[in-house]
Structure 1
Amino acid sequence: MGLIERVLTVVFGGARNIVADTAEVFRENTEAGAGRQAEFKKQVVTQYGQEFHSNQRGWFDRVMDAVNRLPRPAMALGTLALFVSAMTDPIWFAERMQGIALVPEPLWWLLGAIVSFYFGARHQAKGQEFQRSVAVTMARAPQVVENITALRKLRAGSPGVADTGPDAKLALAAFTPGENPALDDWHKSRG
């Protein structure tokens, strides 16, 4: 018995596990890696929350946001209006298109660049706003998890949910039989 004990002590050590220490040289400790990853994610969410915390927008920002929303509907409705005008008054439509045919090509390129930059900038601003809202939502996640855990403890099948605690009157009332017509009928049928 002493020989086996000495061999196991040499392999596994008194307070250390040589096999585990050796294995960690070749493969990461999964539990420690998960802990580091969780801490990293927590720091990222905290940083996002601090960076995008200011949700207070002034009247000027709200007005500019409303103005920025006008070009897309205006272009879509204008295009539909051109189709309607081409069907209702083809001569009027043809006159307008002859005027557009006189627009030089560099001006078309400039218009294309302006529209592209407008929609690109709008897409980037909305993307950053979306990331801000995701960061705020992720910052609330720990509280939601705590609330769900607390709610699950209140289920009827949870251990200790009906515990009366230190209230002696409540404990006594729980064991005192009360009126139960169905149980009385059952007792009578049993006999």
Structure 2
Amino acid sequence: MGLIENILGLVFGGGRNALRETVEVFRENAEAGAVRGAEARNQATTQFAAEFALARQGRFDRFMDGLNRLPRPALALGTLGLFVSAMVDPLWFSERMQGIALVPEPLWWLLGVIVSFYFGARHQLKAQQFQREIAGSVVRLPQVLDNIGQIRALRADSPRAADTDGDARLAVAAIAPDANPALEVWKRGAA
């Protein structure tokens, strides 16, 4: 018996589980990994919420935001206007296109850079606003899940939905028959 006890003590250690500890060198403990993952997500959510806190905008900020929204529609409507003008007055359109043909290539490159930076910066701003909204949604996720759980518990087919929790008056009221005028009329008609 002493030999078996010594061998088991060697494998499982004195109060420790050497076999489990050895396996955890090669394979992560799933429960500990889940706990670490949950902590990391919680910390990231907290960081996002703090980083993307919305600040109230003043009149100037709202005006500039509205002004920044003009170039895209202006470019789209201007291009459509060029198509319409080419059909309505081809000579006028041709004169304008001849003027554009005189623009040197470096100026076209400069225009391309300016438009790229404008739309790139706009895209980045919108992406950051989207990330703020996502961070706000993630912060509200536990409350939403809790609310969904409470709502599902109210379903008639959920276990113990009609449990009275030991309330005697509620239990008696639950089994007491209600007045049913239609049933009373039917009973009188059948009699």
In the superposition, the TM-score normalised over structure 1's length comes to 0.83
- Code of the residue aligned with 2:48 in structure 1: it is Y
Letter in 2 for 1:171: A
- Indicate the residue corresponding to 2:28 in structure 1: 28
Q: Any residues of structure 2 matched to 1:158-169 within 5 Å, and which? A: 158-169=158-169
Q: How far apart in 2 are the matches of 1:14 and 1:158?
A: 48
Give, in angstroms, the shift of residue 143 of structure 1: 0.5
Distance 1:53 1:179, change over 3 A: same
CA distance 1:164–1:86, change in 2 (3 Å)? same
Give the Cα–Cα distance (whole angstroms) in 2 for the partners of residues 63 and 109 of structure 1: 30
Residue 53 of structure 2 aligns to a residue whose secondary structure is coil
Corresponding letter in the other structure for 1:85: S
Task: Please tell me the residue identity of whatever aligns with 1:16.
Answer: R
Q: For residue 89 of structure 1, what is the aligned residue in structure 2? A: 89
Unaligned runs of 5+ residues in structure 1 are 186-191
Cα offset for 1:95? 1.1
What is the TM-score when the length of structure 2 is the normalising length? 0.83
Q: Structure 1 residues 5, 152: closer, same or farther in 2, change over 3 A?
A: farther
Distance 1:159 1:9 in 2: 46
Give the superposition deviation at 1:67. Answer: 0.6
2:7 and 2:137 map into 1 onto residues whose CA distance is 51
Worse-superposed segment, 161-170 or 118-127: 161-170
Q: State the match for 1:70 in structure 2.
A: 70
Number of residue pairs matched? 181
Letter in 1 for 2:119: F
Find the aligned partners of 2:7 and 2:165 in 1 and give their Cα distance: 48
SS at match of 1:56: coil
Alignment of 1:88-167 (within 5 A): 88-167=88-167
> What amino acid is aligned across from residue 162 of structure 1 in structure 2?
A
RMSD: 2.5
Q: 2: CA distance between counterparts of 1:93 and 1:176? A: 87
Change (3 A) 1:158 1:4: farther
Give the equivalent residue in structure 1 for 2:61.
61
Show the counterpart of 1:6.
5
